[in-house]
Chains A and B, each alone.
Chain A
Amino acid sequence: MQEQPAMQLRGLTKRVGNKTLVDHLTFDIPKGEVFGFLGPNGAGKTTSIRMMVGLISISEGQVLVHGVDVAKDFSKAMQHVGCIVENPELYKYLTGYQNLRHMARMTPGLDPRRIDEVVALVGLQNRIHDKVKTYSLGMRQRLGLAQALLHEPSILILDEPTNGLDPAGIRELRDHLRKLAREQGMAVIVSSHLLSEMELMCDRVAVIQQGKLIQVERMGDMGLSGDGALSTSFEVDDAAVAERVLRQHFAAQVVTSGDHRVTLPLLREQVPEAVAALTGEGVRLFEVKSQRKTLEESFLEMTGDETIA
């Protein structure tokens, strides 16, 4: 099925002076997916996002929103886009509701009842008429999301959305974004420098480094070989020998960290085989660990996630 992608980047480039911050990015962002921008700090993620939402000018190339060029017909393109760039920006001296009304007025023909809808959606009913300066960071994040969703965009762009959120907040945001993508077919674009976060949130990730696109990959393929593979690490007496042995037996990427630890993606059924191979070669094995749960999930089990009362 050849459907038009929600957003298309075509050779997107930003130059400032003789520095190229973003270098010919070209890829499509399909509907109904959570799409991640992954890269270290300063890789050009935020710069790209700012170009995508028209905050900064485009040096070269195009950003198309449902086929509409952002640079040529900004208003028409932005009708489909909701975004939070860096922090949720709010007028602290206004109430949450007034902030939303402010946003609503910027969208021609928006039904005012939609405000109550998004308030309910982000669960802020009880505090919406309080001044924003009394809100916690989590509540500000929710209000920011409500602002971005107010005009029912088909593309949601969030720059570093998990910054400053506690694990419960991150989990909540993640569930929310996945729901938006699944149920409403929204294209959700998030940026982050944390792989672990992206793993959990995204369907597909574009890896960017020094302004250049390294690769666009489905999350399942990311660094791991095949479905169901778990990151398995072995604590051994000699990592160099272990690495050589494992390379002979498995086609996967083996990573050595320190003198005593090797890590590679393995299916559950492959683990005994690997152990046998290592001991067969005389490698002394102290520990085998398959990573199933991330640290933050364990943390979540302890703290639980609650809605704001």
Chain B
Amino acid sequence: MLSLFANENMKLYRRPRTWILIVLMAAIVLLTGVLMKGHEQPTPANWKQALISQNQQLTQEAAGGGRHLALFGHGKAQLQVQIQTNDYAISHNVPPQQPTGWSFSNQVEQEAVGVLLTVFVAIIAGDIVAGEFTGGTIKLLLTRAQTRSRILLSKYLAVLLFSVVLMAVTLGVSLLVGGGLFGFAGASAPYIYMSATGHVAQMDMIAYLFANYGFNSISLLMTVTIAFMISTIFRSSSIAIALSIVSLFIGNTIVRVLSTYTWDKYILFANTNLAQYFFNGPAISGMTLTFSVVVLALYFIVMNGLSWYIFRKRDVALT
């Protein structure tokens, strides 16, 4: 089994394509950093004054309960988040707009490369089985003294390892670039947010960064599984890559469009973002973390089971 895994890794990392993806990812992170640095606004001298007056206004609004607040149940808590974020900036003398290496890493992950990470991994996952069929080399793999289950498992594990590598590279490069450009201070600065229950909560920037990556890796795992399944069933890299990336982009839209149906919450994409149970509350009310974890686990088992079953039964090129 280990030697099969070694084989898959050899095939993966001896291909220029894999390295292009990794280098491209690092380059995009670097470019984002350089662009952000270039467009950095000079902190206005009276930033503290501005924050204090903003806070006074916000406090008033929160106390008065303006009209627009009544519309949102959590509106008050959101104001509190802003007030407390400002308070922290004032008392610690750090301008809020000033990025740190840590906040940069977070921002890059959420706004730039988080999706890209999934796309790149889908490219690898979508090709790893289908590519062997296209190249005919599947015949080598399946005519040796190895079971088909082991072959498939070694491929799945190789994709997972690649996901971890790509994620580690992204995190590492973004921290290096962020730290290099904006400084390494601020790891323990608080990230203030509204919890799922509508209360104001906070965690360290560094904890928030890892939480981000953690939640993202769940949806990444599901995309890998989708791409891998389609790759195995259709034996076509392009279909697998295209479908899994499309699902990544329209998944949330589908969930929103179908929100009037009660079974909406059973759709995979309604559950892939586990962060919703920690930050801001779930998109569909009534869903819980346990529910989502169970749904995800079921999808995971069914999709991988399907790949496995079909791969084992497949007649290889009957002509």
* Residue positions of A touching B, CB distance < 8 A: 16, 21, 46-47, 50, 53-57, 74-76, 78-79, 81, 83, 85-87, 89-94, 98, 101-103, 105-108, 147, 151
CB-defined A-B contacts under 8 Å, sample of 16: A46-B319, A47-B318, A50-B316, A74-B147, A78-B143, A85-B139, A85-B143, A87-B136, A89-B135, A89-B137, A90-B137, A94-B14, A105-B7, A106-B141, A108-B3, A151-B145
A56-B318, A87-B136, A105-B6 known; A79 and B142 CB under 8 Å? no
Contact A107 B144 (CB under 8 A): yes
Could you say which of B135, B136, B144, B318 contacts A50, with CB atoms under 8 Å apart? B318
Specify the chain A residue showing the minimal Cβ separation from B319: A46
If A54-B143, A89-B139 are given as contacts, then 10 extra A-B residue pairs at C-beta distance below 8 Å, sorted by A number, are A16-B318, A50-B315, A55-B143, A85-B143, A89-B137, A91-B135, A105-B3, A106-B4, A106-B144, A147-B140
In the docked arrangement, what's the CA distance between A83 and B16, Å?
Answer: 29
Specify the chain A residue showing the minimal Cβ separation from B140: A89
- Shortest C-beta distance, B6 to chain A (Å), equals 6
Interface residues of B in 297-319 (CB under 8 A from A): 313, 315-319
- Shortest C-beta distance, A71 to chain B (Å), equals 13
Whether B10 is near chain A, meaning CB under 8 Å from some CB there, is yes
In the docked arrangement, what's the CA distance between A113 and B10, Å?
Answer: 19
Whether B56 is near chain A, meaning CB under 8 Å from some CB there, is no
Specify the chain B residue showing the minimal Cβ separation from A99: B140
Contact B315 A57 (CB under 8 A): yes
Contacts of B146 in A (CB 8 A): 75, 106
Interface residues of B in 267-319 (CB under 8 A from A): 313, 315-319
- Shortest C-beta distance, B14 to chain A (Å), equals 6
In the docked arrangement, what's the CA distance between A94 and B135, Å?
Answer: 13
Contacts of B145 in A (CB 8 A): 74-76, 78-79, 106-108, 151
Whether B92 is near chain A, meaning CB under 8 Å from some CB there, is no
Contacts of A47 in B (CB 8 A): 318
In the docked arrangement, what's the CA distance between A98 and B147, Å?
Answer: 22
Whether B37 is near chain A, meaning CB under 8 Å from some CB there, is no
Contact B11 A102 (CB under 8 A): yes
Chain B residues touching A, range: 20 to 34
Whether B15 is near chain A, meaning CB under 8 Å from some CB there, is yes
A102-B11, A105-B6 known; A57 and B313 CB under 8 Å? yes
Contacts of A103 in B (CB 8 A): 140, 144
- Shortest C-beta distance, A233 to chain B (Å), equals 37
Contacts of B4 in A (CB 8 A): 105-106
A16-B318, A47-B318 known; A94 and B11 CB under 8 Å? yes
Interface residues of B in 1-43 (CB under 8 A from A): 3-4, 6-7, 10-11, 14-16
Specify the chain A residue showing the minimal Cβ separation from B17: A93
In the docked arrangement, what's the CA distance between A93 and B18, Å?
Answer: 12
Contact A55 B317 (CB under 8 A): yes
Contacts of B7 in A (CB 8 A): 102, 105-106
In the docked arrangement, what's the CA distance between A270 and B3, Å?
Answer: 64
Could you say which of A54, A76, A91, A151 contacts B137, with CB atoms under 8 Å apart? A91
Contacts of A93 in B (CB 8 A): 14-16
Contact A55 B316 (CB under 8 A): yes
In the docked arrangement, what's the CA distance between A74 and B312, Å?
Answer: 12
A47-B318, A94-B11, A105-B7 known; A53 and B140 CB under 8 Å? no
- Shortest C-beta distance, B155 to chain A (Å), equals 13
- Shortest C-beta distance, A178 to chain B (Å), equals 23
Contacts of A78 in B (CB 8 A): 143-145
Question: Which 5 pairs between the two chains have the least Cβ-Cβ distance?
Answer: A105-B3, A56-B315, A55-B316, A106-B144, A75-B145
In the docked arrangement, what's the CA distance between A16 and B315, Å?
Answer: 11
Specify the chain A residue showing the minimal Cβ separation from B15: A93
Contacts of A76 in B (CB 8 A): 145
Contact B315 A55 (CB under 8 A): yes
In the docked arrangement, what's the CA distance between A83 and B140, Å?
Answer: 9
Contacts of A89 in B (CB 8 A): 135-140
